[in-house]
Structure 1
Amino acid sequence: MTREGTCRICGKFGKLTFEHVPPQSAFNTNPVFFQKSVHLHDKKSPLYGKRIRSNQGAGGYYLCKSCNNLTGSYYGESYKKFAYIGMMALTNRIWASKIITFEYAIQPLNILKQVLSMFMSIDTSDQLLNLKGLSVFILDKNSNELPDSLRVFIYHTATKQVRNGWGMARTEKGTHFLGEITFPPFGVVYALNSEPTRKDFYEITDFKNYQFNQTVQTRLKIPFLTPKTYIPGLYL
Structure 2
Amino acid sequence: MKKEGICRICGNYGKLTFERVPPQSAFNSNPVFFQKSIHLHDKKSYLYGKKIRSNQGAGGYYLCEPCNNLTGSYYGDSYKKFAYMGMMALTNRIWASKTINFEYAIQPLNILKQILAMFMAIDTSDQLLNLKGLSDYILDKDSKAFPESLRVFVYHTVTKQVRNGWGMARTKKGYHTLGEITFPPYGVVYALDSEPTRNDFYEVTDFKNFNFNQTVQARLSIPFLTPKTYIPGLYL
TM-score normalised over the length of structure 2: 0.99
Return the alpha-carbon distance in structure 2 between the equivalents of residues 82 and 206 of structure 1.
16
Q: CA deviation at 1:44?
A: 1.0
In the alignment, what sits opposite 1:76? Answer: 76
1:125-140 pair list within 5 angstroms: 125-140=125-140
- SS at 1:56 equivalent: coil
Return the alpha-carbon distance in structure 2 between the equivalents of residues 16 and 225 of structure 1.
34
Unaligned 5+ residue runs, structure 1? none
Runs of 4+ in 1 over 6 A off after TM superposition: none
Return the alpha-carbon distance in structure 2 between the equivalents of residues 144 and 157 of structure 1.
30
Return the alpha-carbon distance in structure 1 between the equivalents of residues 87 and 145 of structure 2.
30
Question: Structure 2: which amino acid aligns with 1:166?
Answer: W
In the alignment, what sits opposite 1:216? Answer: 216
- Is 1:225 the counterpart of 2:225 in the alignment? yes
Q: CA deviation at 1:166?
A: 0.3
In the alignment, what sits opposite 1:100? Answer: 100
Contact 2:21 2:58 in 1 (8 A): yes
- Is 1:39 the counterpart of 2:31 in the alignment? no
Contact 2:32 2:57 in 1 (8 A): yes
Q: CA deviation at 1:144?
A: 1.1
In the alignment, what sits opposite 1:65? Answer: 65
Contact 2:2 2:17 in 1 (8 A): no
Return the alpha-carbon distance in structure 2 between the equivalents of residues 25 and 108 of structure 1.
18
Question: Structure 1: which amino acid aligns with 2:162?
Answer: V
Q: CA deviation at 1:17?
A: 0.1
Return the alpha-carbon distance in structure 1 between the equivalents of residues 137 and 2 of structure 2.
29
Return the alpha-carbon distance in structure 2 between the equivalents of residues 2 and 158 of structure 1.
32
Return the alpha-carbon distance in structure 1 between the equivalents of residues 45 and 96 of structure 2.
41
- SS at 2:113 equivalent: helix
- Is 1:89 the counterpart of 2:70 in the alignment? no
Percent identical: 83
Superposed CA deviations along residues 2-47 of structure 1, whole A, max 9, x for unmatched, are: 4100000000000000000000000000000000011011111110
Return the alpha-carbon distance in structure 2 between the equivalents of residues 230 and 175 of structure 1.
18
- Is 1:142 the counterpart of 2:142 in the alignment? yes
1:173-212 pair list within 5 angstroms: 173-212=173-212
- SS at 1:16 equivalent: strand
- SS at 1:76 equivalent: helix
Question: Structure 1: which amino acid aligns with 2:212?
Answer: F
Question: Structure 1: which amino acid aligns with 2:83?
Answer: A
Return the alpha-carbon distance in structure 2 between the equivalents of residues 139 and 22 of structure 1.
17
Q: CA deviation at 1:146?
A: 0.8
- SS at 1:87 equivalent: helix
- SS at 2:33 equivalent: strand
- Is 1:167 the counterpart of 2:170 in the alignment? no
- SS at 1:104 equivalent: strand
In the alignment, what sits opposite 1:4? Answer: 4
Return the alpha-carbon distance in structure 2 between the equivalents of residues 91 and 18 of structure 1.
31
Return the alpha-carbon distance in structure 1 between the equivalents of residues 85 and 2 of structure 2.
37
Question: Structure 2: which amino acid aligns with 1:217?
Answer: Q
TM-score normalised over the length of structure 1: 0.99
Unaligned 5+ residue runs, structure 2? none
- SS at 2:96 equivalent: coil
Question: Structure 1: which amino acid aligns with 2:188?
Answer: V
- SS at 1:219 equivalent: strand
CA-atom RMSD in angstroms: 0.6
Return the alpha-carbon distance in structure 2 between the equivalents of residues 80 and 103 of structure 1.
16
1:14-53 pair list within 5 angstroms: 14-53=14-53
Return the alpha-carbon distance in structure 2 between the equivalents of residues 21 and 52 of structure 1.
16
